[in-house]
Amino acid sequence: MRFVLDNIGKITHADVKLDGITVICGENNTGKSTVGKALFGYFTSMCDWKRKIEESKQSYVNTFVFQSGEFEPFKTADPYRLSSQTYNAIKNGVKDKAQLYEIINNIFKDCDVDINTEYLTDKLYSMMNISENLLLSEYAMRYFNDLFSGNIININTKAQNAVIKAIFRNGTNIVDFTVNKCIALQEEPIRHRAYYIGDPFVLDYLNKPHYVNILSEIERNVIETVLKSREKLNSDKTDNIFDTVTNKEKVRRVRSLLSRAYKGSTVIKNDRYFYKDEEGNDIDFRSISTGLKAFALIERLLESGKLRQEDVLILDEPEIHLHPEWQMLYAELIVLLQREFDLTILIATHSFHFLESLKFFTEKYGIPERGNFYITRKTEGGYAIDEEDNTLQSLMESLSQPVFDLSDMKFEFEMEQNHEDEDDTE
Amino acid sequence: MKMKTIQNEHYKKLCSAIASYCSEEEAANCFAAMKDASYDDENKTSVYEFDPDMEVLKLDDFSQILGAAHHKVIKSKYPDERGLQQHTPSAVDAVCIDENNNWYLIEFKNQKIDSKVLGSVKKKMLGSLWLLFHTYSLSGNGMDDITKFAREKVTYILVCSRAKNRSDAMLIHQKEEKGEHYTPNSLYGYIDYYFKDVYVYTEAELRSFIAKFR
């Protein structure tokens, strides 16, 4: 897949290949995370959108059923049952407004609440006539507005619109934003979910789920996913890729690698998560080291069965809390996960060592062709990320240069000191 | 900045050995700044383009002179043989000797250092040793045990471009910070066997080397 952005956030233009492990490097504040955010927003809003729209419609029907009469809990007819009957009838097909009026009349005829049937018919008939594409567009607009805090369109260019394109082998999906409007077109259905892993501290919220709403949508996503999957853990093992027969060997390899950092295991007691260390001590997830939290997030996604074959994993500077030794291990884990589960992985990094490790492990695991490397470059009004001037070499240059600059400064300083000493001697 | 010249007696002895084979003009052409010795004809640029600079022996230039002179001798010795080819020993780009009689053979590579490149430098490493000792012995300055001398006194330095070798440059930098040198695995076998030491620099480490050179 190619993921193309125009005038989104700081990005004036980005065109990146996502068919394995895509790495984006660049200085701070150059739009690296924007690509990750847009990718996350794109997959999350477009994946399973028909179900989401059906849910919205159901909720819409609920709202107007409530508004059309004075229902009282335990005293009058159950509005939810009536609403559900109405919604199902609409789903089965309604020819025209008269037929809808008839259906509503039949459902509510024995109900002990006076219903404004005309009002309800009007509202529900308008809902029925809104195209799915329009609903998808509205949904995308709201989702991205929330994700980008209302600043979707690049404000430094004179562009009137911002565009996200996902180009697949069999079609192109487009989301086009103007200031108040969005048009979303889907040629290729999105079947896979995206998970965004940024700050490992979000793991703390597994043990304080009531506060999870203070997190941003993007931070909340992984934690809510893990929390929602908790009930299923003991009842439905088929949901877990770690336990499917076909994946056994792959799973063994990933587990074995993960256990080099995550040496203990996860236990859930009284709805709280603990890390059982090698000595058998149960440590509250909030108290484990940040480095370990980074591995725990991956462990939870896998063990809860949520991360599935061909899903999208977005990692924002994952190396940031890791010692170089664990950076290497994390890079190996990412490469192995990609190979075994064919994940689409997008990584933003500042680390030369992490980048080198990713490169090495893609070679070691026989998938060097699945590594795509990009660097941000300044353009008028923002930053671009595309094929131009993009080689692994240019990424390495960008990340290693400060080390050499410091070394050169040290040399110059040493030379100056020597000259001063010589002058003093004279 | 003024170019450094090597003034110690050991280097001067080498210079006079070289001079005994060449005309004055030829000998003058064999000595030049490190910048010139590191010049890459193909890319029209020098690997080392910094200050301080230092005058060194361009051993590959001297090898050409010696090869041509030897060819003349061969041609006169076998006048009836046709198609005689000149033999020019493979030699490194630069040679310098410090005040403690430590010899440094320096080879520049303005490209990515991969296994192919590392394989290709081996011929020059050994060719240079032979060439230097041969020159010494013919000038009447022969050594008793040249292999022992090489193991104790001669160091081979491969200087690669930092821009084209980012990963290696980081390794080199890290090693040098610790007071060690970076040696690629394939060159370890030459240490204590043919040479006292073998390692890789970038132009940045060479600059420090020149600055400290006595």
Residues B3-52 pLDDT 10s: 999 999 999 999 998 988 888 899 899 999 999 999 999 999 999 999 99
CA Rg value for chain A: 27
Segment A47-81, tens digit of pLDDT: 888 888 888 888 888 888 878 777 777 777 777 88
b/e for A353-378, b at 16 or more Cβ within 10 A? bbbbbbbbbbeebebeebbbbbbbee
Is there a contact between A396 and B207 if contact means CB atoms under 8 Å apart? no
Q: Which of A393-397, B107-111, B140-144 has the highest mean pLDDT?
A: B107-111
Average pLDDT over every residue of A355-368: 95
Specify the DSSP class assigned to residue B66. H
Q: Is residue A180 part of a domain?
A: no
Closest CA to B214 of B15, B2, B10: B10
Backbone angles phi, psi at A297, to 5 degrees: -60, -45
- Helices of type H across A266-391: 290-303, 324-341, 352-364
Q: How far is A293 from chain B (nearest CA, A)?
A: 29
Closest CA to B2 of A419, A407, A411, A421: A419
Residue A62's domain spans which residues? 51-128
- Tokens representing A302 are 């896998």
Segment B88-108, tens digit of pLDDT: 999 999 999 999 999 999 999
Of A403, A408, A415, the CB nearest to B170: A403
Average pLDDT over every residue of B197-209: 96
**Of the listed ranges A76-90, A141-155, A271-285, B84-98, the one predicted with least confidence:** A76-90
Q: How far apart are CA A348 and CA A318, in angstroms?
A: 8
Specify the DSSP class assigned to residue B3. P
Q: Is residue A384 part of a domain?
A: no
Q: How many other C-beta atoms lie within 10 A of the C-beta of residue B36? A: 17
Residue type at A415 in one-letter notation = M
pLDDT at position A426: 60
CB contact at 8 A, B149 and B194: no
Instruction: Name the residue with tokens 């030829």.
Output: B26
B208 touches chain A (CB under 8 A): yes
Classify A11 as helix, strand or coil. Answer: strand
pLDDT at position A232: 54
Domains held by chain A: number: 2
CB contact at 8 A, A195 and A311: yes
Taking each helix axis from N to C terminus, what angle separates A117-128 and A79-91, rounded to the nearest 10 degrees? 40
Specify the DSSP class assigned to residue A23. E
Of B167, B173, B211, the CB nearest to A404: B173
pLDDT over 50 (residue B134): yes
Is there a contact between B170 and A352 if contact means CB atoms under 8 Å apart? yes
Q: Is residue A228 part of a domain?
A: yes
Is there a contact between A407 and B204 if contact means CB atoms under 8 Å apart? yes
b/e for A186-199, b at 16 or more Cβ within 10 A? beeebeebbbbbbb
Question: Does this complex have an ipTM over 0.90?
Answer: no
Q: How many other C-beta atoms lie within 10 A of the C-beta of residue A89? A: 17
Segment A174-206, tens digit of pLDDT: 999 987 788 988 888 898 999 999 999 999 999
Average pLDDT over every residue of B168-197: 93
Residue pairs between chains A and B whose CB atoms are closer than 8 Å: 27
Residues of A with CB under 8 A from a CB of B: 352, 356, 393, 396-397, 400, 403-404, 407-408, 411, 414-415
CB contact at 8 A, B168 and B160: yes
Cβ-based contacts of A352 with chain B (< 8 Å): 166, 170
Residue B204 CA to chain centroid, in angstroms? Answer: 18
pLDDT at position A20: 96
Segment A208-227, tens digit of pLDDT: 999 998 998 899 988 988 88
Interface of B with A in 139-168 (CB under 8 A): 162-164, 166-167
B68 touches chain A (CB under 8 A): no
Instruction: Name the residue with tokens 């001669």.
Output: B154
Q: How far apart are CA B56 and CA A422, in angstroms?
A: 25
Classify B132 as helix, strand or coil. Answer: helix
CB contact at 8 A, A291 and A326: yes
Is there a contact between B204 and A400 if contact means CB atoms under 8 Å apart? no
Residue of A nearest to B174 (CA): A403
If one compares B197 and A138, the residue with the highest pLDDT of the two is B197
Confidence bin at A385 (pLDDT 50/70/90):
very high
Residue A111 and residue A206 in one domain: no
Specify the DSSP class assigned to residue A1. -
Is there a contact between A411 and B207 if contact means CB atoms under 8 Å apart? yes
Residue of B nearest to A393 (CA): B166
Q: Is residue A122 part of a domain?
A: yes
Q: Is residue A357 part of a domain?
A: no
Average pLDDT over every residue of A13-23: 95
Final residue in a domain of this structure, among A128, A151, A173: A128
If one compares B172 and A233, the residue with the highest pLDDT of the two is B172
Cβ-based contacts of A404 with chain B (< 8 Å): 162, 169, 173, 204
pLDDT at position A84: 84
b/e for B114-143, b at 16 or more Cβ within 10 A? eeeebeebbebbbbbbebbbebbeebeeee
CB contact at 8 A, A163 and A175: yes
CB contact at 8 A, A12 and A379: yes
- Helices of type H across A174-261: 217-235, 248-258
Residue of B nearest to A415 (CA): B211
CB contact at 8 A, A156 and A9: no
pLDDT over 80 (residue A113): no
- Tokens representing B169 are 């440059």
**A262-to-A13, A292, A322 alpha-carbon distances in Å:** 39, 7, 13
Segment A290-321, tens digit of pLDDT: 999 999 999 998 888 888 889 999 999 999 99
- Helices of type H across A68-188: 79-91, 97-108, 117-128, 132-147
Confidence bin at A22 (pLDDT 50/70/90):
very high
- Tokens representing B37 are 């010795």
Q: How far apart are CA B203 and CA B160, in angstroms?
A: 7
pLDDT over 70 (residue B127): yes
Q: Is residue A141 part of a domain?
A: no
pLDDT at position A104: 85
Q: Is residue A227 part of a domain?
A: yes
Residue A133 CA to chain centroid, in angstroms? Answer: 22
Segment A278-292, tens digit of pLDDT: 999 999 999 999 999
pLDDT over 80 (residue A261): yes
pLDDT at position A55: 86
pLDDT at position A249: 78
- Tokens representing A368 are 């060097």
Instruction: Name the residue with tokens 């940045």.
Output: B204
Instruction: Name the residue with tokens 């609903």.
Output: A135
Classify B182 as helix, strand or coil. Answer: strand
Of B170, B208, B211, the CB nearest to A400: B170
Dihedral, CA of residue A26, residue A38, residue A295 and residue A308, to nearest 10: -140
pLDDT at position A234: 47
Closest CA to A35 of A134, A139, A148: A148
Final residue in a domain of this structure, among A107, A128, A149: A128
pLDDT over 70 (residue A389): no
pLDDT at position A243: 47
If one compares A96 and B36, the residue with the highest pLDDT of the two is B36
Sheet containing A194-197: order of strands: A194-197, A312-316, A344-348, A21-25, A371-375
